[in-house]
Amino acid sequence: MENTSRSQDPVSLLQQNRVLTEEIQRRVGQLAAINTVATTVSQSLDLDLTLNTSLDAVLSIVPVDAAGISLIDEAAGRLVLRAQRGWKYDFVTDPMSIPLDKGLSGQVIREDRLIVTGDLRGDQRLAVPAFTREKIKAQALVPMHARGRVVGILSVMHHLEYTFEPEQLDVLKAIADQIGVALDNARLFEETHRQETRLSAIIQSAADAIIVTNPAGEISLINPAAQHLLGLRADSTLGLPLEKATLPVEVLHKLHDVLHGSTTTTPSVLDVSLESGQVLAGVVSHLLPAGAPDQAQGTGGRVILLRDVSHLKQAEETRMQFIQNAAHDLRNPLGVTLSALVMLRDSLPMDDPTVAEIYDIAIDAMNRMQVLLDDLLELEHIQGRHNFETQRVDPRPILVSVYREMGPLFAAQEQTCVLEVPSRLPEVNLAVDWFRRAVGNYLSNANKYTQAGGQIKLRACVQGKELLIEVEDNGPGIPLDTQERLFDRFYRAFSSTHPRRGSGLGLAMVKSVAEAHGGRVYFSSKPGRGSTFGMALPLA
Protein backbone atom coordinates (compact mmCIF):
# COMPACT_ATOMS: atom_id res chain seq x y z
CA MET A 1 0.00 0.00 0.00
CA GLU A 2 2.81 2.43 0.86
CA ASN A 3 4.71 1.65 -2.34
CA THR A 4 1.59 2.29 -4.42
CA SER A 5 1.12 5.82 -2.94
CA ARG A 6 4.69 6.81 -3.71
CA SER A 7 4.72 5.60 -7.28
CA GLN A 8 3.68 7.78 -10.26
CA ASP A 9 1.57 6.91 -13.25
CA PRO A 10 3.98 6.53 -16.23
CA VAL A 11 1.42 8.15 -18.56
CA SER A 12 1.11 11.18 -16.29
CA LEU A 13 4.89 11.49 -16.08
CA LEU A 14 5.25 11.39 -19.87
CA GLN A 15 2.56 14.05 -20.25
CA GLN A 16 4.30 16.38 -17.78
CA ASN A 17 7.60 15.87 -19.58
CA ARG A 18 5.95 16.65 -22.89
CA VAL A 19 4.41 19.85 -21.52
CA LEU A 20 7.72 20.88 -20.00
CA THR A 21 9.56 20.14 -23.25
CA GLU A 22 7.06 22.19 -25.26
CA GLU A 23 7.40 25.10 -22.84
CA ILE A 24 11.19 24.96 -23.06
CA GLN A 25 10.97 24.83 -26.83
CA ARG A 26 8.68 27.89 -26.83
CA ARG A 27 11.04 29.83 -24.62
CA VAL A 28 14.04 28.80 -26.71
CA GLY A 29 12.12 29.81 -29.82
CA GLN A 30 11.32 33.19 -28.30
CA LEU A 31 14.93 33.78 -27.33
CA ALA A 32 16.08 32.64 -30.77
CA ALA A 33 13.61 35.03 -32.41
CA ILE A 34 14.75 37.94 -30.26
CA ASN A 35 18.40 37.08 -30.91
CA THR A 36 17.73 36.82 -34.66
CA VAL A 37 16.27 40.32 -34.77
CA ALA A 38 18.99 41.75 -32.52
CA THR A 39 21.73 40.24 -34.68
CA THR A 40 20.08 41.29 -37.93
CA VAL A 41 19.34 44.93 -37.08
CA SER A 42 22.66 45.53 -35.33
CA GLN A 43 24.66 44.84 -38.49
CA SER A 44 23.95 48.20 -40.08
CA LEU A 45 23.96 51.85 -39.05
CA ASP A 46 22.06 52.89 -42.19
CA LEU A 47 18.64 54.04 -40.98
CA ASP A 48 16.58 52.95 -44.02
CA LEU A 49 18.37 49.61 -44.26
CA THR A 50 17.81 49.01 -40.54
CA LEU A 51 14.09 49.79 -40.89
CA ASN A 52 13.54 47.37 -43.75
CA THR A 53 15.74 44.66 -42.25
CA SER A 54 13.79 44.92 -38.99
CA LEU A 55 10.43 44.37 -40.73
CA ASP A 56 11.74 41.37 -42.65
CA ALA A 57 12.98 39.84 -39.40
CA VAL A 58 9.66 40.46 -37.61
CA LEU A 59 7.57 38.88 -40.40
CA SER A 60 9.83 35.86 -40.47
CA ILE A 61 9.10 35.23 -36.79
CA VAL A 62 5.47 36.26 -36.19
CA PRO A 63 2.88 34.68 -38.53
CA VAL A 64 1.08 37.87 -39.60
CA ASP A 65 0.46 39.48 -43.00
CA ALA A 66 1.97 42.95 -42.54
CA ALA A 67 4.16 45.10 -40.32
CA GLY A 68 5.19 48.74 -40.08
CA ILE A 69 7.53 50.98 -38.13
CA SER A 70 6.67 54.56 -37.20
CA LEU A 71 9.18 56.94 -35.60
CA ILE A 72 8.59 59.96 -33.40
CA ASP A 73 9.58 63.30 -34.93
CA GLU A 74 10.22 65.39 -31.82
CA ALA A 75 10.57 68.67 -33.71
CA ALA A 76 7.24 68.26 -35.53
CA GLY A 77 5.45 66.63 -32.58
CA ARG A 78 4.21 63.81 -34.80
CA LEU A 79 4.53 60.07 -35.34
CA VAL A 80 5.62 59.33 -38.92
CA LEU A 81 5.41 55.97 -40.73
CA ARG A 82 8.92 55.24 -42.06
CA ALA A 83 8.71 51.65 -43.36
CA GLN A 84 6.02 49.07 -44.22
CA ARG A 85 5.83 45.43 -45.37
CA GLY A 86 2.81 43.50 -46.65
CA TRP A 87 0.44 46.49 -46.76
CA LYS A 88 -2.10 46.84 -49.61
CA TYR A 89 -1.53 50.58 -49.97
CA ASP A 90 1.55 52.81 -49.83
CA PHE A 91 1.53 55.02 -46.74
CA VAL A 92 5.30 55.78 -46.81
CA THR A 93 5.83 57.74 -50.04
CA ASP A 94 3.29 60.29 -48.81
CA PRO A 95 4.00 59.39 -45.18
CA MET A 96 1.25 58.71 -42.69
CA SER A 97 1.78 61.37 -40.02
CA ILE A 98 -0.19 61.50 -36.79
CA PRO A 99 -0.01 64.03 -33.92
CA LEU A 100 1.60 62.43 -30.89
CA ASP A 101 -1.55 62.85 -28.78
CA LYS A 102 -4.03 61.49 -31.33
CA GLY A 103 -5.43 58.06 -32.22
CA LEU A 104 -4.36 54.59 -31.16
CA SER A 105 -0.70 55.48 -31.58
CA GLY A 106 -1.12 58.47 -29.26
CA GLN A 107 -2.59 56.13 -26.63
CA VAL A 108 0.34 53.72 -27.00
CA ILE A 109 2.85 56.57 -26.56
CA ARG A 110 0.95 58.29 -23.77
CA GLU A 111 0.36 55.11 -21.74
CA ASP A 112 3.61 53.43 -22.86
CA ARG A 113 1.98 50.02 -23.30
CA LEU A 114 1.16 47.47 -25.98
CA ILE A 115 -2.36 47.68 -27.47
CA VAL A 116 -4.13 44.85 -29.37
CA THR A 117 -7.15 45.59 -31.60
CA GLY A 118 -9.54 43.64 -33.76
CA ASP A 119 -11.41 44.92 -36.82
CA LEU A 120 -10.62 48.67 -37.08
CA ARG A 121 -13.73 49.64 -39.04
CA GLY A 122 -15.83 51.86 -36.83
CA ASP A 123 -13.07 52.18 -34.19
CA GLN A 124 -13.38 55.78 -32.91
CA ARG A 125 -9.73 55.81 -31.89
CA LEU A 126 -8.53 55.62 -35.49
CA ALA A 127 -6.77 58.93 -36.38
CA VAL A 128 -6.28 58.21 -40.12
CA PRO A 129 -9.60 57.18 -41.76
CA ALA A 130 -7.83 56.17 -44.98
CA PHE A 131 -6.17 53.34 -43.07
CA THR A 132 -9.49 51.43 -43.05
CA ARG A 133 -8.78 50.56 -46.72
CA GLU A 134 -6.25 48.06 -45.45
CA LYS A 135 -9.18 46.04 -43.95
CA ILE A 136 -7.18 45.01 -40.92
CA LYS A 137 -8.92 42.46 -38.70
CA ALA A 138 -6.21 42.14 -36.03
CA GLN A 139 -3.38 44.41 -34.98
CA ALA A 140 -0.78 44.78 -32.22
CA LEU A 141 0.83 48.18 -31.59
CA VAL A 142 4.05 47.88 -29.57
CA PRO A 143 6.04 50.85 -28.18
CA MET A 144 9.75 50.84 -29.07
CA HIS A 145 12.16 52.14 -26.43
CA ALA A 146 15.66 53.57 -26.52
CA ARG A 147 17.53 55.33 -23.72
CA GLY A 148 14.51 55.04 -21.42
CA ARG A 149 11.94 56.70 -23.68
CA VAL A 150 9.50 55.76 -26.44
CA VAL A 151 11.06 56.43 -29.85
CA GLY A 152 8.45 54.84 -32.11
CA ILE A 153 5.88 52.09 -32.62
CA LEU A 154 6.17 48.62 -34.17
CA SER A 155 2.84 47.49 -35.60
CA VAL A 156 2.02 43.94 -36.79
CA MET A 157 -1.27 43.28 -38.64
CA HIS A 158 -3.38 40.51 -40.08
CA HIS A 159 -6.04 40.79 -42.77
CA LEU A 160 -7.99 37.88 -41.24
CA GLU A 161 -9.22 37.41 -37.70
CA TYR A 162 -6.25 36.48 -35.55
CA THR A 163 -5.54 36.01 -31.87
CA PHE A 164 -2.11 37.03 -30.58
CA GLU A 165 -0.81 34.53 -28.03
CA PRO A 166 0.72 35.95 -24.85
CA GLU A 167 4.08 34.43 -25.80
CA GLN A 168 3.94 36.22 -29.16
CA LEU A 169 3.22 39.53 -27.48
CA ASP A 170 6.16 39.01 -25.12
CA VAL A 171 8.40 38.30 -28.10
CA LEU A 172 7.07 41.39 -29.92
CA LYS A 173 7.80 43.61 -26.92
CA ALA A 174 11.36 42.33 -26.67
CA ILE A 175 11.87 42.64 -30.44
CA ALA A 176 10.41 46.17 -30.48
CA ASP A 177 12.94 47.35 -27.91
CA GLN A 178 15.79 45.71 -29.82
CA ILE A 179 14.65 47.50 -32.96
CA GLY A 180 14.17 50.76 -31.03
CA VAL A 181 17.77 50.76 -29.81
CA ALA A 182 19.11 49.84 -33.26
CA LEU A 183 17.03 52.54 -34.97
CA ASP A 184 18.05 55.17 -32.43
CA ASN A 185 21.71 54.28 -32.98
CA ALA A 186 21.20 54.42 -36.75
CA ARG A 187 19.43 57.76 -36.49
CA LEU A 188 22.22 59.21 -34.31
CA PHE A 189 24.83 57.89 -36.73
CA GLU A 190 22.95 59.36 -39.69
CA GLU A 191 22.66 62.77 -38.00
CA THR A 192 26.34 62.72 -37.00
CA HIS A 193 27.35 61.74 -40.53
CA ARG A 194 25.19 64.52 -41.98
CA GLN A 195 26.76 67.09 -39.64
CA GLU A 196 30.27 65.84 -40.42
CA THR A 197 29.56 66.07 -44.14
CA ARG A 198 28.23 69.61 -43.76
CA LEU A 199 31.21 70.65 -41.61
CA SER A 200 33.65 69.09 -44.07
CA ALA A 201 32.03 70.98 -46.95
CA ILE A 202 32.28 74.25 -45.02
CA ILE A 203 35.94 73.68 -44.14
CA GLN A 204 36.89 72.63 -47.66
CA SER A 205 35.18 75.62 -49.26
CA ALA A 206 36.32 78.21 -46.66
CA ALA A 207 38.41 81.07 -48.04
CA ASP A 208 40.48 81.18 -44.83
CA ALA A 209 43.34 78.77 -44.24
CA ILE A 210 42.43 76.18 -41.59
CA ILE A 211 44.88 73.81 -39.87
CA VAL A 212 43.80 71.38 -37.14
CA THR A 213 46.17 69.52 -34.82
CA ASN A 214 45.44 66.56 -32.56
CA PRO A 215 46.41 66.36 -28.84
CA ALA A 216 49.88 65.14 -29.83
CA GLY A 217 50.44 68.32 -31.84
CA GLU A 218 50.27 66.48 -35.18
CA ILE A 219 48.44 68.02 -38.15
CA SER A 220 45.18 66.13 -38.69
CA LEU A 221 43.48 68.46 -41.20
CA ILE A 222 44.40 71.17 -43.68
CA ASN A 223 41.93 72.69 -46.10
CA PRO A 224 42.62 73.73 -49.73
CA ALA A 225 42.93 77.40 -48.73
CA ALA A 226 45.75 76.50 -46.30
CA GLN A 227 47.52 74.49 -48.99
CA HIS A 228 47.33 77.43 -51.39
CA LEU A 229 48.19 80.22 -48.92
CA LEU A 230 51.02 78.43 -47.12
CA GLY A 231 52.34 76.25 -49.95
CA LEU A 232 51.47 72.97 -48.19
CA ARG A 233 50.65 69.56 -49.63
CA ALA A 234 48.14 67.41 -47.78
CA ASP A 235 49.82 64.09 -48.67
CA SER A 236 53.16 65.16 -47.19
CA THR A 237 51.84 67.29 -44.30
CA LEU A 238 49.09 65.30 -42.58
CA GLY A 239 50.42 63.41 -39.58
CA LEU A 240 53.48 65.63 -39.16
CA PRO A 241 54.12 67.55 -35.90
CA LEU A 242 53.23 71.20 -36.45
CA GLU A 243 56.81 72.40 -35.92
CA LYS A 244 58.07 70.04 -38.67
CA ALA A 245 55.60 71.18 -41.30
CA THR A 246 56.96 73.23 -44.20
CA LEU A 247 55.33 76.43 -42.97
CA PRO A 248 56.96 79.84 -43.43
CA VAL A 249 59.49 80.45 -40.65
CA GLU A 250 57.66 83.59 -39.47
CA VAL A 251 54.44 81.61 -39.07
CA LEU A 252 56.18 78.84 -37.13
CA HIS A 253 57.77 81.36 -34.74
CA LYS A 254 54.44 83.10 -34.06
CA LEU A 255 52.62 79.80 -33.55
CA HIS A 256 55.34 78.63 -31.17
CA ASP A 257 54.97 81.82 -29.11
CA VAL A 258 51.18 81.49 -28.98
CA LEU A 259 51.01 77.73 -28.32
CA HIS A 260 53.66 77.77 -25.60
CA GLY A 261 52.97 81.22 -24.15
CA SER A 262 49.21 81.07 -23.59
CA THR A 263 48.02 80.16 -20.09
CA THR A 264 44.30 80.01 -20.91
CA THR A 265 42.01 78.05 -23.24
CA THR A 266 40.58 81.21 -24.77
CA PRO A 267 41.40 81.94 -28.43
CA SER A 268 44.68 83.74 -29.12
CA VAL A 269 45.01 86.35 -31.87
CA LEU A 270 48.17 86.58 -33.97
CA ASP A 271 49.44 88.49 -36.99
CA VAL A 272 52.45 87.59 -39.11
CA SER A 273 54.43 89.60 -41.64
CA LEU A 274 56.13 87.32 -44.16
CA GLU A 275 59.40 88.04 -45.95
CA SER A 276 57.42 88.07 -49.21
CA GLY A 277 55.50 91.11 -47.98
CA GLN A 278 52.32 89.21 -47.21
CA VAL A 279 50.58 89.93 -43.92
CA LEU A 280 48.54 87.18 -42.27
CA ALA A 281 46.06 87.55 -39.41
CA GLY A 282 44.79 84.58 -37.48
CA VAL A 283 43.23 82.99 -34.44
CA VAL A 284 44.40 79.90 -32.54
CA SER A 285 41.68 78.09 -30.59
CA HIS A 286 41.59 75.05 -28.34
CA LEU A 287 39.51 72.05 -29.33
CA LEU A 288 36.84 71.51 -26.66
CA PRO A 289 34.92 68.27 -26.06
CA ALA A 290 31.46 68.22 -27.66
CA GLY A 291 28.94 70.01 -25.45
CA ALA A 292 31.59 71.29 -23.04
CA PRO A 293 31.21 74.80 -21.59
CA ASP A 294 33.53 77.56 -22.82
CA GLN A 295 35.62 77.44 -19.66
CA ALA A 296 36.26 73.68 -19.95
CA GLN A 297 39.79 72.42 -20.51
CA GLY A 298 40.69 71.72 -24.13
CA THR A 299 41.44 68.24 -25.48
CA GLY A 300 44.97 69.30 -26.40
CA GLY A 301 44.22 69.83 -30.08
CA ARG A 302 44.22 73.23 -31.77
CA VAL A 303 42.40 74.93 -34.61
CA ILE A 304 44.54 77.49 -36.46
CA LEU A 305 42.79 79.92 -38.80
CA LEU A 306 44.84 82.28 -40.98
CA ARG A 307 43.72 84.97 -43.42
CA ASP A 308 45.71 87.01 -45.94
CA VAL A 309 45.13 90.64 -44.95
CA SER A 310 47.91 92.15 -47.05
CA HIS A 311 45.50 94.35 -48.98
CA LEU A 312 43.95 95.61 -45.75
CA LYS A 313 47.36 96.40 -44.26
CA GLN A 314 48.42 98.20 -47.40
CA ALA A 315 45.25 100.27 -47.40
CA GLU A 316 45.72 100.98 -43.69
CA GLU A 317 49.31 102.08 -44.19
CA THR A 318 48.27 104.40 -47.02
CA ARG A 319 45.54 105.86 -44.85
CA MET A 320 47.90 106.17 -41.89
CA GLN A 321 50.52 107.94 -43.99
CA PHE A 322 47.93 110.41 -45.23
CA ILE A 323 46.63 111.04 -41.70
CA GLN A 324 50.11 111.51 -40.29
CA ASN A 325 50.99 113.96 -43.04
CA ALA A 326 47.75 115.79 -42.31
CA ALA A 327 48.58 115.76 -38.59
CA HIS A 328 51.92 117.42 -39.24
CA ASP A 329 50.28 120.02 -41.44
CA LEU A 330 47.50 120.69 -38.92
CA ARG A 331 49.61 120.95 -35.81
CA ASN A 332 50.86 124.49 -36.38
CA PRO A 333 47.53 126.10 -37.41
CA LEU A 334 45.84 124.22 -34.55
CA GLY A 335 48.31 125.65 -32.06
CA VAL A 336 47.80 129.14 -33.47
CA THR A 337 44.01 128.78 -33.28
CA LEU A 338 44.15 127.55 -29.70
CA SER A 339 46.41 130.45 -28.69
CA ALA A 340 44.09 132.88 -30.43
CA LEU A 341 41.10 131.52 -28.53
CA VAL A 342 42.92 131.92 -25.23
CA MET A 343 43.87 135.52 -26.10
CA LEU A 344 40.33 136.24 -27.31
CA ARG A 345 38.92 135.19 -23.96
CA ASP A 346 39.82 138.51 -22.37
CA SER A 347 37.88 140.39 -25.06
CA LEU A 348 34.68 138.34 -24.79
CA PRO A 349 31.78 139.06 -22.42
CA MET A 350 32.33 135.83 -20.44
CA ASP A 351 29.60 136.84 -18.00
CA ASP A 352 27.14 136.04 -20.79
CA PRO A 353 26.24 132.30 -20.32
CA THR A 354 25.78 131.72 -24.06
CA VAL A 355 29.17 133.22 -24.93
CA ALA A 356 30.86 131.27 -22.15
CA GLU A 357 29.25 128.02 -23.33
CA ILE A 358 30.30 128.58 -26.95
CA TYR A 359 33.85 129.41 -25.84
CA ASP A 360 34.07 126.25 -23.69
CA ILE A 361 32.81 124.11 -26.58
CA ALA A 362 35.45 125.56 -28.91
CA ILE A 363 38.28 125.12 -26.37
CA ASP A 364 37.18 121.53 -25.64
CA ALA A 365 37.05 120.64 -29.35
CA MET A 366 40.50 122.15 -29.95
CA ASN A 367 41.95 120.26 -26.99
CA ARG A 368 40.50 116.97 -28.24
CA MET A 369 41.95 117.68 -31.68
CA GLN A 370 45.31 118.37 -30.04
CA VAL A 371 45.20 115.04 -28.17
CA LEU A 372 44.38 113.20 -31.40
CA LEU A 373 47.26 114.80 -33.25
CA ASP A 374 49.62 114.06 -30.35
CA ASP A 375 48.54 110.40 -30.39
CA LEU A 376 49.10 110.19 -34.14
CA LEU A 377 52.57 111.66 -33.92
CA GLU A 378 53.40 109.50 -30.90
CA LEU A 379 52.42 106.40 -32.85
CA GLU A 380 54.53 107.57 -35.77
CA HIS A 381 57.51 108.04 -33.45
CA ILE A 382 57.31 104.56 -31.95
CA GLN A 383 56.88 102.93 -35.34
CA GLY A 384 59.85 104.88 -36.65
CA ARG A 385 61.84 104.06 -33.46
CA HIS A 386 62.42 107.78 -32.72
CA ASN A 387 64.09 108.29 -29.30
CA PHE A 388 63.83 104.57 -28.73
CA GLU A 389 66.79 103.74 -26.53
CA THR A 390 66.62 100.71 -24.26
CA GLN A 391 68.41 100.01 -21.01
CA ARG A 392 68.56 96.99 -18.77
CA VAL A 393 66.25 97.73 -15.84
CA ASP A 394 64.11 96.12 -13.17
CA PRO A 395 60.50 96.56 -14.41
CA ARG A 396 58.93 96.35 -10.93
CA PRO A 397 59.52 100.00 -9.84
CA ILE A 398 58.12 101.20 -13.18
CA LEU A 399 54.96 99.11 -12.78
CA VAL A 400 54.47 100.33 -9.22
CA SER A 401 54.92 103.96 -10.33
CA VAL A 402 52.38 103.66 -13.17
CA TYR A 403 49.96 101.90 -10.81
CA ARG A 404 50.15 104.76 -8.31
CA GLU A 405 49.79 107.45 -10.99
CA MET A 406 46.57 105.83 -12.22
CA GLY A 407 45.11 105.67 -8.71
CA PRO A 408 43.01 108.89 -8.94
CA LEU A 409 41.31 107.66 -12.14
CA PHE A 410 40.22 104.44 -10.44
CA ALA A 411 39.13 106.30 -7.31
CA ALA A 412 36.94 108.61 -9.40
CA GLN A 413 35.05 105.56 -10.72
CA GLU A 414 35.08 103.83 -7.31
CA GLN A 415 37.01 100.99 -8.94
CA THR A 416 39.38 98.70 -7.10
CA CYS A 417 42.78 98.25 -8.70
CA VAL A 418 44.98 95.44 -7.35
CA LEU A 419 48.74 95.21 -7.95
CA GLU A 420 49.98 91.61 -8.24
CA VAL A 421 53.70 91.95 -8.93
CA PRO A 422 56.35 89.73 -7.26
CA SER A 423 58.91 91.39 -5.01
CA ARG A 424 61.63 90.41 -7.47
CA LEU A 425 61.48 90.37 -11.26
CA PRO A 426 64.29 89.65 -13.74
CA GLU A 427 65.74 92.57 -15.65
CA VAL A 428 64.41 93.50 -19.09
CA ASN A 429 65.79 95.75 -21.84
CA LEU A 430 63.25 98.58 -21.91
CA ALA A 431 62.71 101.96 -23.46
CA VAL A 432 61.34 103.14 -20.12
CA ASP A 433 59.16 106.06 -21.28
CA TRP A 434 57.50 104.01 -24.01
CA PHE A 435 56.99 101.08 -21.64
CA ARG A 436 55.33 103.38 -19.09
CA ARG A 437 52.97 104.72 -21.77
CA ALA A 438 52.04 101.21 -22.93
CA VAL A 439 51.19 100.00 -19.42
CA GLY A 440 49.35 103.26 -18.74
CA ASN A 441 47.28 102.78 -21.92
CA TYR A 442 46.26 99.27 -20.84
CA LEU A 443 45.19 100.58 -17.41
CA SER A 444 43.42 103.59 -18.92
CA ASN A 445 41.52 101.31 -21.29
CA ALA A 446 40.40 99.11 -18.38
CA ASN A 447 39.33 102.20 -16.44
CA LYS A 448 37.18 103.46 -19.35
CA TYR A 449 35.39 100.19 -20.12
CA THR A 450 34.92 98.76 -16.63
CA GLN A 451 31.75 99.68 -14.78
CA ALA A 452 31.83 101.86 -11.67
CA GLY A 453 32.74 99.73 -8.66
CA GLY A 454 34.48 97.14 -10.84
CA GLN A 455 37.80 95.45 -10.18
CA ILE A 456 41.03 95.76 -12.18
CA LYS A 457 44.29 93.88 -11.70
CA LEU A 458 47.78 94.78 -12.86
CA ARG A 459 50.03 91.75 -12.64
CA ALA A 460 53.43 90.59 -13.83
CA CYS A 461 55.03 87.16 -13.98
CA VAL A 462 57.76 85.28 -15.79
CA GLN A 463 56.87 82.48 -18.16
CA GLY A 464 59.68 80.74 -19.96
CA LYS A 465 61.92 83.42 -21.41
CA GLU A 466 59.28 86.15 -21.35
CA LEU A 467 58.01 88.72 -18.90
CA LEU A 468 54.22 88.86 -19.03
CA ILE A 469 52.47 92.12 -18.10
CA GLU A 470 48.68 91.71 -17.85
CA VAL A 471 45.76 93.99 -17.03
CA GLU A 472 42.58 92.11 -16.14
CA ASP A 473 39.13 93.59 -15.54
CA ASN A 474 35.66 92.26 -14.74
CA GLY A 475 33.94 94.61 -17.18
CA PRO A 476 31.41 93.76 -19.90
CA GLY A 477 33.94 91.97 -22.11
CA ILE A 478 34.41 92.47 -25.84
CA PRO A 479 31.97 91.27 -28.53
CA LEU A 480 33.38 88.32 -30.44
CA ASP A 481 32.88 89.95 -33.83
CA THR A 482 35.13 92.88 -32.90
CA GLN A 483 38.02 91.04 -31.23
CA GLU A 484 40.01 90.48 -34.40
CA ARG A 485 40.49 94.24 -34.98
CA LEU A 486 41.15 95.44 -31.43
CA PHE A 487 44.79 96.41 -32.07
CA ASP A 488 44.05 98.11 -35.39
CA ARG A 489 44.63 101.84 -35.54
CA PHE A 490 41.52 104.00 -35.09
CA TYR A 491 39.37 100.96 -34.30
CA ARG A 492 37.11 101.23 -31.25
CA ALA A 493 34.90 98.31 -30.22
CA PHE A 494 31.29 99.34 -29.83
CA SER A 495 29.36 98.61 -26.63
CA SER A 496 25.75 99.52 -25.97
CA THR A 497 26.61 100.32 -22.35
CA HIS A 498 29.95 102.02 -23.03
CA PRO A 499 30.02 104.49 -25.95
CA ARG A 500 33.12 104.74 -28.08
CA ARG A 501 35.72 106.96 -26.47
CA GLY A 502 39.26 108.05 -27.29
CA SER A 503 41.09 108.12 -30.60
CA GLY A 504 41.32 104.37 -31.16
CA LEU A 505 45.12 104.55 -31.14
CA GLY A 506 45.88 103.41 -27.57
CA LEU A 507 45.99 99.66 -28.21
CA ALA A 508 47.76 100.16 -31.54
CA MET A 509 50.46 102.09 -29.66
CA VAL A 510 50.81 99.29 -27.07
CA LYS A 511 51.23 96.76 -29.87
CA SER A 512 53.89 98.90 -31.55
CA VAL A 513 55.77 99.32 -28.25
CA ALA A 514 55.72 95.58 -27.55
CA GLU A 515 56.92 94.73 -31.05
CA ALA A 516 59.64 97.39 -30.87
CA HIS A 517 60.94 95.53 -27.80
CA GLY A 518 60.87 92.23 -29.71
CA GLY A 519 57.72 91.14 -27.88
CA ARG A 520 54.05 90.71 -28.63
CA VAL A 521 50.59 91.58 -27.36
CA TYR A 522 47.71 89.23 -26.61
CA PHE A 523 44.29 89.30 -25.03
CA SER A 524 41.40 87.11 -23.99
CA SER A 525 37.82 88.20 -23.48
CA LYS A 526 34.32 86.77 -23.26
CA PRO A 527 31.23 88.95 -23.40
CA GLY A 528 29.94 89.47 -19.89
CA ARG A 529 33.03 87.98 -18.22
CA GLY A 530 35.64 90.72 -18.49
CA SER A 531 38.88 90.98 -20.44
CA THR A 532 42.60 90.39 -20.00
CA PHE A 533 45.12 92.36 -22.07
CA GLY A 534 48.72 91.25 -21.99
CA MET A 535 52.16 92.17 -23.25
CA ALA A 536 54.98 89.61 -23.49
CA LEU A 537 58.54 90.99 -23.53
CA PRO A 538 61.78 88.99 -23.85
CA LEU A 539 63.96 88.84 -20.75
CA ALA A 540 67.32 90.60 -20.88
Same domain, 453 and 473: yes
Lowest-confidence segment of 163-172, 278-287, 356-365, 382-391 by average pLDDT? 382-391
pLDDT for the residue 31: 61
Residue 200 domain-assigned (yes or no): no
| Average pLDDT across the chain, whole number | 81
Lowest-confidence segment of 30-34, 67-71, 403-407, 456-460 by average pLDDT? 30-34
pLDDT 10s digits, 462-473: 988 889 999 999
Same domain, 82 and 70: yes
* Cα torsion angle, 104, 106, 109, 110, sign: negative
How far is C-alpha 408 from the geometric centre of its chain's CA atoms? Answer: 40
Residue 43's SS3 state is: coil
CA–CA gap between residue 60 and residue 86 (Å, rounded): 12
Check if the beta carbon of residue 537 is closer than 8 Å to that of residue 519: yes
Lowest-confidence segment of 307-316, 381-390, 522-531 by average pLDDT? 381-390
Residue 251 domain-assigned (yes or no): yes
Local confidence band at 376 (pLDDT 50, 70, 90 cut-offs)? low
Same domain, 43 and 117: yes
Same domain, 273 and 298: yes
Residue 361 domain-assigned (yes or no): yes
CA distances from 4 to 9, 13, 15, 411, 431 (A): 10, 15, 20, 111, 118
Same domain, 378 and 397: no
CB neighbourhood size of 41 (10 A): 25
Same domain, 124 and 30: yes
DSSP code, position 537: E
Residue 201 domain-assigned (yes or no): no
Lowest-confidence segment of 4-8, 109-113, 127-131, 508-512 by average pLDDT? 4-8
Q: 52 versus 98: which is more confidently predicted?
A: 98
DSSP code, position 218: B
Q: Indicate whether 84 pLDDT > 90.
A: yes
Same domain, 273 and 378: no
Rounded to two decimals, the pTM is 0.45
Q: Indicate whether 406 pLDDT > 60.
A: yes
Same domain, 408 and 457: yes
CA distances from 141 to 33, 110, 123, 129, 175 (A): 18, 13, 15, 17, 12
Domain count along the chain: 4
Check if the beta carbon of residue 158 is closer than 8 Å to that of residue 116: no
What's the CATH number where 299 sits?
3.30.450.20
Q: Indicate whether 500 pLDDT > 50.
A: no
pLDDT for the residue 1: 45
Segments forming the whole domain that contains residue 41:
10-192
CA distances from 498 to 31, 165, 493 (A): 70, 74, 9
Residue 198 domain-assigned (yes or no): no
CA–CA gap between residue 152 and residue 70 (Å, rounded): 5
Residues 363-392 have a mean pLDDT of 71
Q: Which of 386, 405, 426 is the last residue of a domain?
A: 386
Angle at CA 12, nearest 5°, toward 11 and 16?
A: 120
Percent of the chain topping pLDDT 90? 20
Residues 117-129 have a mean pLDDT of 85
Same domain, 298 and 316: no
Same domain, 427 and 293: no
Q: Indicate whether 442 pLDDT > 70.
A: yes
Residues with Cβ within 8 Å of 113's Cβ and at least 6 positions away in sequence, in order, are 143
Residue 277 domain-assigned (yes or no): yes
Same domain, 106 and 119: yes
pLDDT for the residue 203: 85
Lowest-confidence segment of 11-25, 217-231, 324-338 by average pLDDT? 11-25
Residue 333's SS3 state is: helix
Local confidence band at 80 (pLDDT 50, 70, 90 cut-offs)? very high
Same domain, 77 and 120: yes
Check if the beta carbon of residue 157 is closer than 8 Å to that of residue 138: yes
CB neighbourhood size of 165 (10 A): 10
Residues 276-291 have a mean pLDDT of 78
Q: Which of 366, 386, 406 is the last residue of a domain?
A: 386
Local confidence band at 24 (pLDDT 50, 70, 90 cut-offs)? low
What's the CATH number where 537 sits?
3.30.565.10
β-bridge pairing 455-463 and 416-420: parallel
Residue 248 domain-assigned (yes or no): yes
What's the CATH number where 184 sits?
3.30.450.40
How far is C-alpha 111 from the geometric centre of its chain's CA atoms? Answer: 39
pLDDT 10s digits, 182-231: 778 777 887 888 888 888 888 888 888 999 988 888 888 899 998 988 88
pLDDT for the residue 352: 84
pLDDT for the residue 384: 55
pLDDT 10s digits, 43-60: 566 777 778 878 887 887
> What strands lie across the sheet with 138-146, from one edge to the other?
97-99, 78-85, 66-73, 149-158, 138-146, 115-117
Check if the beta carbon of residue 98 is closer than 8 Å to that of residue 128: yes
Residue 111's SS3 state is: helix
Q: Indicate whether 168 pLDDT > 70.
A: yes
Q: Which of 364, 386, 408 is the last residue of a domain?
A: 386
Residue 197 domain-assigned (yes or no): no
Residues with Cβ within 8 Å of 351's Cβ and at least 6 positions away in sequence, in order, are none
